[in-house]
Amino acid sequence: MVVVRKTSSFEKMLLIVGLLILLIGYMLISKTYLVEGAQLSWGFLQTIFLWLLMVIFIILLAIGEDIKEGILLQQLDEIRGLKEAVLKGKKK
């Protein structure tokens, strides 16, 4: 059985922030590349590296949030099972 869960507001906000970082970062990097005369400089390479680190950080945040939600759902199912077992034990 496949359990479909709803996306949280944090995940929606993370998606929007991630897309903004991707788009704005790419536009700024391409503009900087054209302004410098299509030359690779040390500052330009640092900028690209930092931008990629931010993108990777956003991806890791999304993965971590998904894992956390999965663990919370499993714990909720276990607690419900324990509650039902305790209630059945009291009825006997």
pLDDT of residue 1: 63
Which domain covers residue 30, as residue numbers?
11-91
Q: Is pLDDT of 4 > 70?
A: yes
Residue 6 lies in a domain: no
List, in sequence order, the alpha helices (H) in 1-92.
9-35, 42-91
Count how many domains the chain has: 1
Q: Can you give the C-alpha Rg of the chain in angstroms?
A: 23
Averaged pLDDT, 42-65? 89
Q: How many CB atoms lie within 10 A of CB 9?
A: 8
Residue 22 lies in a domain: yes
Cβ–Cβ under 8 Å, residues 85 and 77: no
Per-residue pLDDT tens for 22-44? 999 999 888 888 887 878 788 78
pLDDT of residue 29: 87
CA gap 6, 91 in Å, rounded: 35
pLDDT of residue 74: 86
Residue 3 lies in a domain: no
